[in-house]
């Protein structure tokens, strides 16, 4: 069997198909709550949510204000990760790959590149 450790020519796989499918299977049938702070995330977990989506603002507030949302503040995401044991998800604007890289560096469990943050 080949040595699975990464080399400079073969970078490590961080999001293999098996891992991604496993997360989807784990979340199926459960509730993923939108949260805007650590307190809401803790309440969601205690109420039985299978994951939380860390948002700057909830979509209804974005539409009401006629604005554009941004990726959640990294400190908010870190605060949510500190108080919960369930997966933490976060959104990045479509095409803003640097936002996705920041979310990956923060260790979020799922990055959603979403049009919710950038209205058409």
Please say if 91 is a catalytic residue.
Answer: yes
How far apart CA 73 and CA 55 sit, in angstroms, is 9
Of the residues 20, 42, 81, 91, only one is catalytic, namely 91
Handedness of CA 79, 45, 57, 53 (dihedral sign): positive
How far apart CA 84 and CA 42 sit, in angstroms, is 6
Residues serving a catalytic function are 91
């Amino acid at each position: 069997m080949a040595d699975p450790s990464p080399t400079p020519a073969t970078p490590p796989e961080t999001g293999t198909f098996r891992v991604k499918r496993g997360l989807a299977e784990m979340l199926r049938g459960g509730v993923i709550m939108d949260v805007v702070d650590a307190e809401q995330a803790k309440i969601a977990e205690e109420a039985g949510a299978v994951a939380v989506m860390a948002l700057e603002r909830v979509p209804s507030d974005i539409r009401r204000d006629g604005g554009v949302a941004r990726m959640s503040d990294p400190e908010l995401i870190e605060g949510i990760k500190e108080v919960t044991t369930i997966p933490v998800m976060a959104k990045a604007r479509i095409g803003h790959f640097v936002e996705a890289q920041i979310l990956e560096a923060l260790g979020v469990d799922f990055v959603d590149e979403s049009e919710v943050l950038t209205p058409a």
